[in-house]
Amino acid sequence: MSIDLARFHQAFFEESFERMDAMEQGLLQLEGGADNAETINDIFRAAHSIKGGAATFGFAAVAGFTHHVETLLDSVRNGSRGVDKPLVALLLRASDQVRALLNAARDGGNADAALSLQLQAELQAALAGDTAAVVAAPACAAVVVTAAAATSGWRIVFKPHRDLFASGNDPLRILRGLGTLGELESELHFAADLPGFAEIDPQQCYLSWTLRLCGAATEAEVREMFAWVEDECDLSIAPLAAGPVESAEPVHVNVVPITAATPVAAAAVAAPAAKSRAPAESSIRVSIDKIDGLINLVGELVITQASLTQYTRGLDPLVHERLLASVQQLEHTARLLQESVMSTRMLPIDSVFSRFPRMVHDLATRLNKQVRLQTVGEATELDKSVIEKIGDPLTHLVRNCIDHGIELPAVRVAAGKPAQGTMTLTAAHQGGQIVIEVIDDGRGLSRQRILDKARANGLVISDNASDSEVWNLIFAPGFSTAAEVTDVSGRGVGMDVVRRNIESLGGEVELRSQEGEGTSVRIRLPLTLAIVDGMFVDVGGETFIVPLIGVVESLQPAPEQIRRIAGQGQVLRLRDEYIPVISARELYRVPGAAREACQSIAVIIEADGFKLALLVDDLIGQQQAVIKSLEAHFRRVFGVAGATILGDGRVALIIDVTEVVRTCGRSLAA
């Protein structure tokens, strides 16, 4: 019965693209000066794994091209070729082509065949200076290898299976790896049924070896060299007997001896051997649809648990002691289960940050700038749904930084700065939010230039406006202070899209800048889009939820704090600041007469640098709520971000703080 390999294709492509990302990061590290054996070996293994998998699944174009990449990397790995910027640039271009070939194989399309041939020629040219450490004996000679008696070592019989090459493995690399463990001598044997030259299949292996390794290597270290082919060969490893190895059959001595070209090569092979002995992390791949379904079920369980808790509040603790204890235990277990299931959707933000080193490298090279990228907090986790949607806004900000933020080297030096600019991406948890910052040490924003541009566009802004109000102008649609439009970016152009995308995730964006010193864009986001930490408030007997991310504080105002402005409504005077007031009962058309402001609770909410006092009847408490889409089940409602189901089965609306402040707060403030 044949095996349907097509069902493994998705896993192959997922793993291959992950290896491509790792390969790209390693190459960028090499360009940055990290010329270490472990990095080189990681890059090589990534290419080797992609090639082997592609060959197994029949993606010949991927396997064939990656073979050339792998061969060049092997020459770097064994120390016969050094690392320089032209080599890294070539390998980066080649990695792009491998990615294109993988995409074509996955989607059933065609990659640029001419580009593949051109890059193959360049890879071969880069390899031309490589010299193989091979000493060939006369053909068909019966050879007896004489060597000094070894006090320690191993006698190895290595007989690859015929189809070894199909998995992308190469015996020569194994022999070179063994050469790093000590003095190695080899006898090459031909298969007894070796066909004639015209009938030889180049994809079959007809060779085997008897090896003599002299040195202090352990058996585990020797076996480690064959870890990649242990199921694809016949292997025998025995302690080396004193005296030379003699052969009674015709052989060819292929490598006498095989040694590492440089200490780097030895470290390159030894490093992964030690690394692979560490305990492997156990993991499985699960469809995101299954996880989403599980999260929905847990959400329903939490709602049911809340309902039980509410129904049992009026029971006598003495009569229903066991029932109340069980409900309390259910509440605790449901919370732990909810947190555990939600954690399965949490991914490190490094999956987003990892795309930027290559982008920064390419854009900086293209714009003749020197830019160093720093990342902080890559391990910070947030919901997969947030990660998927935050990539594009961050990409736009990073491109803006390089194109319009960081100056040319000559300009920076003239301003007393280092020629190389620095851009920093940071991520950290703050309460129930994640804070991401994009920081550069470039020219910063010009306050006067922004004001002049705003007035030219017909925007009304006071000269006494705060810096935050001036910076917010660049988020207006079509606003740009760039002297010329480039095909890379324009600071301000598209910034309205950045803000809109951030706010669609329930987050907010804040910009700070100092002319001549740099700019910082701070993004605040909820950790997940499935659950909201909210303040539950009562409005005319109805329950509303105000997301805590938008709440500044709450208070009951005194009569003297309320002021009425003719034709514009009321304002709340709070610590020398006047905040517009609006009634939640009137905003959401809840039946009944609204209370006086001094008899209500004022919840101070903030968005876009503006504040609004939202009057509610009472504060119920603070807790998490499972978010349900109102649009999916009803329709779009102004000022509502979603809904949740309370323990008694009623529906509570979640207030869209940004929309309410932007629509009501600004109009009242005007």
Where residue 446 sits, what CATH number does that domain have?
A: 3.30.565.10
Of 60, 92, 127, which residue is a domain's last?
127
104's tokens: 């074509």
Tell me: do 493 and 365 sit in the same domain.
yes
Residue 28: pLDDT band (50, 70, 90) is confident
pLDDT at 431: 64
Tell me: do 337 and 439 sit in the same domain.
no
Tell me: do 625 and 589 sit in the same domain.
yes
Q: What are the tens digits of pLDDT across the range 161-175?
A: 988 887 777 888 888
pLDDT reading at 359 higher than 90: no
Tell me: do 99 and 247 sit in the same domain.
no
Residues 349 and 436: their CA atoms lie apart, in Å, by 10
Which carries the bigger pLDDT value, residue 667 or residue 534?
A: 534
Residues 32 and 36: their CA atoms lie apart, in Å, by 11
| Phi, psi dihedral angles at 161 (to 5 degrees) | -70, 160
Amino acid present at 566: A
Q: Report how far Cα 227 is from the mean position of its chain's Cα atoms.
A: 30
The CB density around residue 194, as the number of other CB atoms within 10 Å, is: 11
Q: b or e along 325-346 (b: 16 or more beta carbons within 10 Å of the residue's beta carbon)? A: eebeeeeeebeeebeebbeebe
CATH number at residue 599: 2.40.50.180
Tell me: do 179 and 326 sit in the same domain.
no
Tell me: do 503 and 358 sit in the same domain.
yes
> Is residue 99 a part of any domain in this protein?
yes
Domain that holds residue 418: 348-526
pLDDT at 167: 72
pLDDT reading at 218 higher than 70: yes
pLDDT reading at 555 higher than 90: yes
Residues 252 and 137: their CA atoms lie apart, in Å, by 6
Which carries the bigger pLDDT value, residue 196 or residue 86?
A: 86
> Is residue 282 a part of any domain in this protein?
no
> Is residue 206 a part of any domain in this protein?
yes
Amino acid present at 640: V
pLDDT at 223: 86
Tell me: do 362 and 460 sit in the same domain.
yes
Tell me: do 104 and 214 sit in the same domain.
no
Q: Which of 102, 122, 108, 110 is nearest to 23 (CA)?
A: 102
Of 258, 280, 308, which residue is a domain's last?
258
Region 639-645: mean pLDDT is: 86
> Is residue 74 a part of any domain in this protein?
yes
Which element (helix H / strand E) includes 600? none
> Is residue 50 a part of any domain in this protein?
yes
Tell me: do 516 and 633 sit in the same domain.
no
> Is residue 273 a part of any domain in this protein?
no
> Is residue 146 a part of any domain in this protein?
no
Q: What are the tens digits of pLDDT across the range 580-617?
A: 999 999 999 999 887 888 899 999 998 877 889 999 99
Tell me: do 481 and 440 sit in the same domain.
yes
Average pLDDT over the chain reads: 80
Rounded (5°) CA angle 140-143-148 = 155
> Is residue 389 a part of any domain in this protein?
yes
Tell me: do 507 and 553 sit in the same domain.
no
Tell me: do 99 and 43 sit in the same domain.
yes
Of 258, 276, 300, which residue is a domain's last?
258
Residue 114: pLDDT band (50, 70, 90) is confident
Residue 130: pLDDT band (50, 70, 90) is very low
What is the tally of structural domains in the chain? Answer: 5
What residues contact 18, with CB distance under 8 A and at least 6 apart? Answer: none
CATH number at residue 184: 3.30.70
